[in-house]
Chains A and B, each alone.
Chain A
Amino acid sequence: MGKPSDLVQGTLDLLILKTLSLEAKHGWAIAKRIQQVSGEVLQVQQGSLYPALHRLEQQGWIKAKWMESETGRQAKFYSLTAAGRGQLETETANWNRLSAAIDLIVSQV
């Protein structure tokens, strides 16, 4: 069960941006989606999710809109901005570089 602190520093941003790149979602759905897609390995805690969402919003990478959710209740839906798309590309490239580098070391016999 990966707690946020177990996540590599900064990867939560990447996970959120990636999750939002398909469609606008509210916080709960983002957490659920990350959990499902990662095969229940990554569980994002609210304690890190909402600070991260608000930080990304302040940075202008995602924008929020209050809309009706599936249950009919008003919920805050986040979606990616143009700047956020650029950021997603940058972070994805960074992640690939980093994970490949770590892989090189770890897989060495």
Chain B
Amino acid sequence: MRMQTLFQRKKAAARLDDELDFHLEQQIAENRATGMSAEEARFAALCSFGNPALLREKTRQTWNWNWLEQIGREVRYGFRTLGRTPGFAALAILVIALGIGANVALFTVVRSVLLKPLPFKDPDRLVMLYEHGIPDNSDEHAYNVVAGGVYSEWKKQNHTFSDLALMQEDSDSSLSGSGGQLPENLKGAECTWNLLTTLGVRPVLGRDFTAADDSRSANGTVLLSWSLWKRRFGTWRTCWWLVV
């Protein structure tokens, strides 16, 4: 019954009509038995029956899923009302769309900038240190680059941080095209060997930098970003030892 009133509403409604018709016929038959004419019997039965539309409505209200039907009806009315005033409808939809769009855009920014934690271990314990230029104490000299010597001195005297690592963004470097690939500009950064261990991340493939890489005599070593590796080296594992 529950399923029938959900999926076969038309059939259930026809059944209800049938049921009520039967009642009416019974009443007419009874009236005729008391000696009324066919016409009189029918009229009297209809009189005692009351308002059939109202009765149908009241009965349907007892069915399950009536709320679903009502929601459906409200939605249909809504569309019909909007369809009658297309200008207003378009404007309302536009305003709501803009509102939703603006909210989504704003939230995306807020989420990535403020809410989403950095993808490192213990992101709440990470800080960035800068040197501040002394001469005129203006903002121009804020965020000064820390010299290597200063860094090693900081590292020696450090009691506050569990580790210190140095990082500096490079100016764009170019990667020449080979094998039909176009040359491209790359964003790179230089760092001390312990940057990744300080951040608590590990390269997916190959090895991390080691202390041995961090001397003047060592060869330059690079770690590629995942996207560059896939794009330019075709997920080629042997490029671990490739000399660039």
Between B50, B60, B62, the greatest number of chain A beta carbons within 10 A of the residue's beta carbon is seen for B62
Residues on the A chain within 8 Å of B31, using CB: none
Given contact pairs A47-B54, A58-B63, A73 touches B25 in the complex (Cβ within 8 A): yes
Give Cα A8 to B50, complex, Å.
Answer: 22
Contact B23 A47 (CB under 8 A): no
Contact B5 A50 (CB under 8 A): no
Residues on the A chain within 8 Å of B59, using CB: 50-51, 54
Contact A74 B18 (CB under 8 A): yes
Give chain A nearest CB distance to B54 CB in angstroms.
Answer: 7
Contact B62 A47 (CB under 8 A): no
Give Cα A56 to B91, complex, Å.
Answer: 48
Contact A46 B55 (CB under 8 A): yes
Give Cα A108 to B50, complex, Å.
Answer: 40
| A75 CB within 8 Å of chain B | yes
Q: Which of A34-92 contact B (CB under 8 A)?
A: 45-47, 50-52, 54-55, 57-58, 63-64, 66, 69, 71, 73-76
| B10 CB within 8 Å of chain A | no
Q: Which of B47-88 contact A (CB under 8 A)?
A: 49-51, 54-55, 58-64
Contact A58 B64 (CB under 8 A): yes
Contact B23 A71 (CB under 8 A): no
* Cβ 8 A contact of B22, one of A47, A55, A58, A69: A69
Between A27, A54, A74, the greatest number of chain B beta carbons within 10 A of the residue's beta carbon is seen for A54
Give chain B nearest CB distance to A72 CB in angstroms.
Answer: 11
Residues on the B chain within 8 Å of A63, using CB: 1
Tally A residues with Cβ within 8 Å of B.
22
Contact A76 B15 (CB under 8 A): yes
Give Cα A63 to B2, complex, Å.
Answer: 12
Give Cα A46 to B16, complex, Å.
Answer: 13
Give chain A nearest CB distance to B30 CB in angstroms.
Answer: 8
Contact B22 A76 (CB under 8 A): yes
Given contact pairs A27-B19, A27-B23, A46-B49, A55 touches B62 in the complex (Cβ within 8 A): yes
Contact A54 B62 (CB under 8 A): yes
Contact A76 B27 (CB under 8 A): no
Contact B64 A28 (CB under 8 A): no
* Cβ 8 A contact of A51, one of B1, B18, B26, B61: B61
Using CB atoms, name the residue of chain B closest to A56.
Answer: B62
Give Cα A87 to B54, complex, Å.
Answer: 28
Contact B27 A28 (CB under 8 A): yes
Given contact pairs A54-B62, A54-B63, A58-B64, A28 touches B1 in the complex (Cβ within 8 A): no
Would you give 27 A-B contacts (Cβ < 8 Å), ordered by A? A26-B19, A26-B22, A27-B19, A27-B22, A28-B22, A28-B23, A45-B50, A46-B20, A46-B23, A46-B49, A50-B20, A50-B23, A50-B55, A50-B58, A51-B58, A51-B59, A51-B61, A54-B16, A54-B59, A57-B1, A58-B2, A58-B5, A63-B1, A64-B1, A66-B15, A71-B26, A74-B22
A-B pairs with the 4 shortest C-beta distances? A55-B62, A28-B26, A54-B62, A51-B58
